[in-house]
Amino acid sequence: MLQFLSLATALAAGTLPHPASAAGLNEAATAIGLEYFGTATDNPELTDVPYVAQLNNTADFGQITVGNSQKWDATEPTQNTFSFADGDAVVSLAEGNDQLVRCHTLVWYNQLPNWVTSGNWTNATLTAVMENHITKVVSHYKGRCHHWDVVNEALNEDGTYRDNIFLSTIGPSYIPLAFSFAAAADPDAKLYYNDYNLEYGGDKATAALDIVAAVQDAGAKIDGVGFQAHFEVGTVPDSASLATILTSFTDLGVEVAITEADIRIELPATEEALVQQAEDFGALAEACVGVEGCVGFTIWDYTDRYSWVPGVFPGFGAALPWDEDLVEKPAYDGLLEGLGGEAE
């Protein structure tokens, strides 16, 4: 705590623009047994030269998630016409750095093109559309995706299935079907269910456990569950509680990962909030490190310059470990400590 406070003070005073660290986030993560520490990115940002220089820094990032350009509206904007250029650009960048790729995402209620949401489908025709989409996209990236987020955000907060065109047309079996189509197209990719607000346990987490069991019972392959970890500062569960939740999933024989972490702050961010944010990020990392089968930790972009948060939560921001000027915040050292590294 004291360390964070003094760091925040130094940052505010401009005396320590780049907190020196003993190791980078990915170096610390892999040293302590995770597969990677990584970040999401998106195509518009790839023209920002200083941004890309840090994105390429494998001491911090051993993994990249494709933030938008593998979603359905980007990859199949009109039926059976596929567009991979933007997704390819992100995957190629990661491959050029030997960074693992989390591919994101195949079946989601959001960012669907109109031809999907307004189609007049039957169970059979929409199943065929979903199979074609998954098969073409996963085959295109075959061998290049360490993980695929196959189904994203299929649950409401109360644990019921979220309404979407797939649920209303096909029923809950769209989930195991999606996993089986993805497995057929790339047997080596780790296939994930990915959602937010699973981190507190309760009805939604229980329903996610049921999804894992349902996919397994259907005889389909599911390898992991992604905990998105989108939080407001001060609401992050303590690391022991989160570790218990994560373990309830690994007990089913799947791995887990923190997939989209950010911790938003009401603006302007106070020094106290930045210190709390550092502790919160540290608790998340510590929970993952403490669970056998928690394989990696990804933040949802690395800099406040490109966070989705201010656009969706007016008055909030500062959610990431680097500020808008690409300067490390106290959260960076919080993460590093949670990953067992040493902040200098």
Closer to ligand G3I by Cβ: residue 28 or 309: 309
Give CA–CA dist 134/269, Å, rounded: 42
Check binding of 317 to ligand G3I (CB under 6 A). Answer: no
Assess 199 for contact with ligand G3I (CB under 6 A): no
Query: Is there a cis peptide before residue 160, judged by omega within 30 degrees of 0?
Result: no
Catalytic residue among 35, 76, 153, 279: 153
First to last CA, the chain: 14
Would you count residue 228 as binding ligand G3I (CB under 6 A)? Answer: yes
Binding of residue 193 to ligand G3I (CB under 6 A): no
Active site residue 153: yes
Residue nearest to ligand G3I (CB): 308
Distance CA 243, CA 283 (A): 10
Q: Which parts of 146-185 interact with ligand G3I (CB under 6 A)?
A: 152
Comparing CA positions, the residue from 29, 18, 12, 13 lying closest to residue 282 is 29
Cα-based distances in Å from 84 to 68, 97, 140, 192, 332 = 12, 20, 8, 21, 33
Q: How far is CA 286 from the centre of its chain?
A: 17
Nearer to ligand G3I, 306 or 332 (CB): 306
Cβ neighbours of 68 (radius 10 Å): 19
Helix H or strand E segment including 257: strand 255-266
Does 67 participate in binding ligand G3I (rule CB under 6 A)?
A: yes
Closer residue to ligand G3I (CB): 63 or 152: 152
CB of 111 to ligand G3I, least distance (A): 6
DSSP H/E element including 254: none
x/- string (CB under 6 A) for ligand G3I, residues 114-153? --------------------------------------x-
Pick the catalytic residue: 35, 76, 199, 260? 260
Is 260 a residue that touches ligand G3I (CB under 6 A)? Answer: yes
Helix (H), strand (E) at residue 178:
helix 174-185
Q: How far is the CB of 4 from ligand G3I (least distance, A)?
A: 26
Asked if residue 298 binds ligand G3I (CB under 6 A), the reply is no
Q: Does 35 bind ligand G3I (CB under 6 A)?
A: no
Contacting residues for 112 by C-beta, under 8 A, at least 6 apart: 72, 73, 165
Report the interface residues with ligand G3I, using CB under 6 A.
67-68, 110-111, 152, 228, 260, 308
Q: Which residues are catalytic?
A: 153, 260
